[in-house]
Amino acid sequence: MKATHVVRTAGTGLTTNKMRSTLTVLGVVIGVASVIALLSIGRGTQVAITSNIQSMGTNLLFVGPGAVSQSGVRSAAGSAATLTMDDAAAIADSTAAPAVYAVAPQVQAGAQIVAGNQNTRTQVIGVTPEYSWVRNFPIERGDFVSASQVQRASLVVVLGNSVAQTLFGLQDPVGQPIRINGLQYEVIGVLKSKGGSGFGNSDDQVIAPITTVQRRLSNQRTTSGAKTVQQISIQVAGASQNEAAIQQVTAILQERHRIAPGQPDDFTVQSQQDMVQALQQSTSVFVIFLGAIAGISLLVGGIGIMNIMLVSVTERTREIGIRKSVGARRQDILLQFLVESATLSLLGGGIGILLGWGISRMIGGIRLNNATINTVMSLDILVLAVSVSAAIGLIFGLYPAYRAARLSPIDALRYE
């Protein structure tokens, strides 16, 4: 039998019962659209997280406090108050760590910020001037914290973009006074907006000299009485020197903290690339989970295809018998029913792609609970959806087609 005749016969079979065929196609449409929409959300989340990490700066290492042990009990990571400004200065020494390009220590504390009759509660980050370019925080208006202001522990601040809008609206904040925990500070600058991420909203913070925050807002000290820093951001001279920088920084801190060989460190050193890889692995699981959920809809659509094809075989038993009696072969009957099921799945897949793409575009950029939904549509998502749709049509149509092809012509002709 010619292929054109098989296709024409399959089309006639599908159009005989338009409502049933339409409902079957609808099941596939919903499944494919769900897969595309959810996978685009998952892919968008991956891209947004990677972009936010990279927006922190380039070739970064993050040194944080580790854990301490008391009476044989080890506390949680980050609980050790061991990092100091002297540690940061030792790392910044080019002779001790030639792979290190720049160092930016920081401390932070929560505080109530008041300007006129407006107020907000946010984090005050104490930094040095290097923080602006190591962590990629450019200024939109005014100036960043200077070395002299750090030395004098000046009462000055740089506002994050959303804090500036909350406190001052459309008014220029530069030169205006604000109060932090009851003490007056002068606004010297406003940061450019960077948006929120899985690591907090970088626009919702206030920057101040590190010495000011240590003196006014944070009293945490080491066991020897030195004021601590909560993180040291390090810019490496080049991506190829990451491992060398990690080894150099680790050696410097082990020597300064008198950590004996074989003993656990009281600090952690993590590279930016390690963070990207770890989060990409986590979000990959999230994307697979979303795809699996949407795949259930496609499975239901496949079951619908099998159902309609089984019903069609039953209703067209006499037709099958007549066709066989006039010379139709088993493979002709098998091919006809496979073409019908494939047509249903591909038609539903095509409409589902358009619908899923439209849903992805529509929900992209929507804000929920101060977070923006990011969507990314890529060719592999579309190919996956079409491939799965076609496979479902063939797989779920195979049994009904096989059943139709196996019918005996005599039994089929006797069927009422």
Tokens of 291: 């795809």
124, 111 contact by CB (below 8 A) = yes
Across the strands, what pairs with 159? 190, 206
- pLDDT in the model for residue 368: 65
State the pLDDT at residue 7: 54
Task: Give the relative orientation of helices 272-315 and 317-325 as an angle to the nearest 10 degrees.
Answer: 80
pLDDT tens readout for residues 5-55: 545 555 555 556 677 777 777 878 888 888 888 888 888 877 777 776 666
**Torsion of the alpha carbons at 117, 118, 119 and 123, rounded to the nearest 10:** -140
Q: How remote is the C-alpha of 65 from its chain's centroid?
A: 26
Cα dist from 394 to 31, 337, 346, whole Å: 16, 10, 10
Q: pLDDT grade, residue 388 (50/70/90)?
A: confident
Sequence spans of domains, the chain: 3-53+277-414, 81-265
Output the CA angle 326-328-333, nearest 5 degrees.
140
- Copy the structure tokens of residue 131: 């923080």
Taking residues 212-226, report their average pLDDT.
80
Mean pLDDT over 248-276 rounds to 84
Is the pLDDT score of 239 beyond 80?
Answer: no
Name the more confident of 107 and 79: 107
SS3 294: helix
Q: Residue 322: is its pLDDT beyond 70?
A: no
CB contact at 8 A, 210 and 229: yes
Count of Cβ atoms closer than 10 Å to residue 308 Cβ:
24
pLDDT at 1: 47
Alpha-carbon distance of 250 to 81, in angstroms, equals: 17
pLDDT, position 261: 81
Of residues 405 and 395, which shows the higher confidence score? Answer: 395
Q: What is the mean pLDDT of the chain?
A: 79
Contact 280, 52 (CB under 8 A): no
392: buried, middle or exposed (CB in 10 Å: 19+, 13-18, 0-12)? buried
Q: Per mean pLDDT, which range of 24-33, 241-250, 313-322 is the poorest?
A: 313-322
The pLDDT value given to residue 71: 45
Q: Give residue 66's pLDDT.
A: 76
Residue 198's pLDDT is 46
Mean pLDDT of 132-159: 92
Q: Which tens digit of pLDDT belongs to each residue from 117-137? A: 899 999 999 999 999 988 888
| pLDDT, average across residues 331-350 | 76
Question: Cα–Cα distance between 134 and 121 in angstroms, integer?
Answer: 26
Q: What is the mean pLDDT of residues 308-327?
A: 66
Residue 243 has pLDDT above 80, yes or no: yes
Tell me the residue type at 63.
Answer: V
Mean pLDDT computed over 77-101: 81
Note the pLDDT of residue 16. 63
**Between these two residues, 8 and 188, which has the higher pLDDT value?**
188
Q: Is the pLDDT of residue 227 over 50?
A: yes
**Cα radius of gyration rounded to whole Å, the chain:** 33
